[in-house]
Structure 1
């Protein structure tokens, strides 16, 4: 099923539209379901996968991952382009944590608790991603590894060793619930941030409208339609793995552009508005702490932006791919500029319904 393009598109559409309709019911309902899905569908399968992999290694079973301390293992650059593109997949797994800022006002004692929650989420996410990836690499041979369903393949092999294969459908269902919970979280976060900017007069009234639950319904529906169009890429590109990497690269490029502006804006605002009271301030005196954090982030993000222009698969031409990514980036950057240029003073006075 992992290689059935029609099946993948159908699942994407069903999950995304379900998450959209759920978020239209308000933050309380979507937040509760997202928390349950993430707990049961991310933490439980991750702990099970890592735990079984540790038992697998402790019993002296064959390890598929070459763990010798050599330069080739620490920096596997036999295919530099492919390694760098796969690096983007790892980066994409840890981006987006700033989306939670759209819910900061709903946090008790936000000045103290929100930074703690963000740091904890970053650490937990990094550890789970690292250990989960290593667990898969330990069990599944590299030539059999699938980027889309690698974790499920590893669990299938591990559960089969101890005759626990009957648990696989349960674990697969939990993983699916976890993915759905992540989608639900991502659906409304960016929209709320864009809606807040729109209320300042940057978006037309039709995009500022909210339903009875205070959710910007029109923006959510437009986002779902655009996401449905993007999902159709799976029907065009022959390889599911190449499609996965293609969409990941496109997302990382767009995210990188946003992060570059975010880091640059943080440094600029430190000098143009130094006395503005903010819920959180990067430690390190007046400027060096911010320059260190934002500078490292800017350089890393810039590298990811350039890597994103490398084609993810052997069957994809370098020039057409780079031009397609560049066109996508320019269009996405042009849309807010056009809206900003066309903004009207009366838009800022619009009241939500």
Structure 2
């Protein structure tokens, strides 16, 4: 294997990291909140996105090894907690890519027939085809995977997002009727804090900003990670804020709030913009680009967290056959098992009588799972300041006597605990008859997510451990 060929430069790192974080699939659910998007967006960015970005930057530059969060948490609390963290990251990915593939289906429907965006069989079919295509592509190696994700991000996320924002600005200043109330009153800007179901909407905003740490799973392939990681994270934060908030505003001004589809809302806005300009024939081409962008994001996620699981497998948490890698260093058996699990969960979520409900359940459950992982990551960042102060971090959160880390970490932990509680409450869009299904799915899903790693930890065999890691608790 050509080691130099598999290296990731700064540009690829920025676009690959952006593919993990920056996505237009959450724009419709953000737009559905109206002007509340300003409040929710700023809270999610300041209290969640920035703290997790800064802490992951410090950890990635202190321990720039493949495995990411598994390596960091293992260094702090041992391999059992490291395995739990990587498992939570991976299971969150399972749910996240399902919503990505639903979004692919909703976007691609505009190429064939917009009504297909609400057709369950069509969406599941798209999920299967796109999932297994991405899985096969991932088997070709990190370099190929990164290039595919980069191209898809540039053409299918950044380009459509810029076009959407430009169309939104043009529409706004062309004396057209607006579908959003722009009166800057307290009621219009701030949500009703007495209604927990309203606060649930912050989940879609926070979820938009998750994944900043995922690209660190490829740290071993990055050229000069100590310098390039902080630079990449800075650009990702800026791009993420601009694309999501400005994109959501563009959707909100043209699509009536009650008509926004979580699956195809982005394409709804494009269709309305372009048909008003008498160039509706462009819509199918935009649909292809947007679908490709979502596939690129899913492609990046399919390959990222599985690297952490591979490191856990080498420590004996999985049978040896799951540690097998191909000539490109890709864990082929793990990827195949991963594809099977995603196919099953994606099919189950479509049991719901409404697609928006399935989409929302995937948001809430994945946020609870990811919040648990981020909790482990943040406390690891704080603890490692004391356990390994000698380790050089190219990026170091400023502050005397670790005060900066404590302030940033505490802000992140408080936000994460709040998000965890909020996710338990169904949003206002869900009718009371669907509340039982919502609660049972969330509860059972979360319970299963924690039961499985517990069983695997108990079942761990000494002879499953790779020779390199035998007798090493924190390696």
After TM superposition, the structure 1 stretch with the greater mean CA deviation from structure 2, 268-277 or 318-327, is: 318-327
TM-score, structure 2 length as denominator? Answer: 0.70
Q: Is the 8 A contact 2:319 2:464 kept in 1?
A: yes
Alpha-carbon distance between aligned partners in 2 of 1:265 and 1:310, rounded to the nearest angstrom: 29
Q: Is the 8 A contact 1:9 1:234 kept in 2?
A: no
Q: Does 1:325 align with 2:442?
A: yes
Q: Does 1:158 align with 2:273?
A: yes
Alpha-carbon distance between aligned partners in 2 of 1:321 and 1:235, rounded to the nearest angstrom: 13
Which residue does the alignment assign to 1:288?
A: 403
Secondary structure of the equivalent of 1:182?
Answer: helix
After TM superposition, the structure 1 stretch with the greater mean CA deviation from structure 2, 250-259 or 191-200, is: 191-200
After TM superposition, the structure 1 stretch with the greater mean CA deviation from structure 2, 245-254 or 203-212, is: 203-212
Q: Is the 8 A contact 1:205 1:350 kept in 2?
A: no
- 1:144 offset after TM fit, Å? 1.6
- 1:62 offset after TM fit, Å? 1.2
Which residue does the alignment assign to 1:222?
A: 337
Alpha-carbon distance between aligned partners in 2 of 1:225 and 1:211, rounded to the nearest angstrom: 19
- 1:78 offset after TM fit, Å? 9.1
Highest RCO, 1 vs 2 (Cα 8 Å, sep ≥ 6): 2
Distance verdict in 2 for CA 1:278–1:346, change over 3 Å? farther
Q: Does 1:344 align with 2:461?
A: yes
Secondary structure of the equivalent of 1:97?
Answer: coil
Distance verdict in 2 for CA 1:343–1:246, change over 3 Å? same
After TM superposition, the structure 1 stretch with the greater mean CA deviation from structure 2, 137-146 or 33-42, is: 137-146
Q: Is the 8 A contact 2:361 2:442 kept in 1?
A: no
Distance verdict in 2 for CA 1:207–1:75, change over 3 Å? same
Distance verdict in 2 for CA 1:12–1:104, change over 3 Å? same
Distance verdict in 2 for CA 1:218–1:285, change over 3 Å? farther
After TM superposition, the structure 1 stretch with the greater mean CA deviation from structure 2, 70-79 or 98-107, is: 70-79
- 1:196 offset after TM fit, Å? 1.7
- 1:161 offset after TM fit, Å? 1.3
Distance verdict in 2 for CA 1:78–1:347, change over 3 Å? closer
Which residue does the alignment assign to 2:303?
A: 188
Q: What stretches of structure 1 of length at least 5 have no aligned partner?
A: none
Note the aligned Cα RMSD (angstroms).
Answer: 1.9
- 1:283 offset after TM fit, Å? 2.5
Q: Does 1:40 align with 2:155?
A: yes
Q: After superposition, where does 1:294-313 map in structure 2 within 5 Å?
A: 294-312=409-427, 313=430
Which residue does the alignment assign to 1:4?
A: 119
Q: Is the 8 A contact 1:311 1:317 kept in 2?
A: no
TM-score, structure 1 length as denominator? Answer: 0.94
Q: After superposition, where does 1:14-53 map in structure 2 within 5 Å?
A: 14-53=129-168
Q: How many residues align?
A: 351
Alpha-carbon distance between aligned partners in 2 of 1:335 and 1:194, rounded to the nearest angstrom: 14
After TM superposition, the structure 1 stretch with the greater mean CA deviation from structure 2, 251-260 or 328-337, is: 328-337
Alpha-carbon distance between aligned partners in 2 of 1:44 and 1:142, rounded to the nearest angstrom: 25
Alpha-carbon distance between aligned partners in 1 of 2:434 and 2:122, rounded to the nearest angstrom: 27
**What's the CA shift string for 1:59-84, capped at 9, x where partnerless?**
11111111111111112339934432
Alpha-carbon distance between aligned partners in 1 of 2:398 and 2:454, rounded to the nearest angstrom: 33
Q: Is the 8 A contact 2:196 2:425 kept in 1?
A: yes
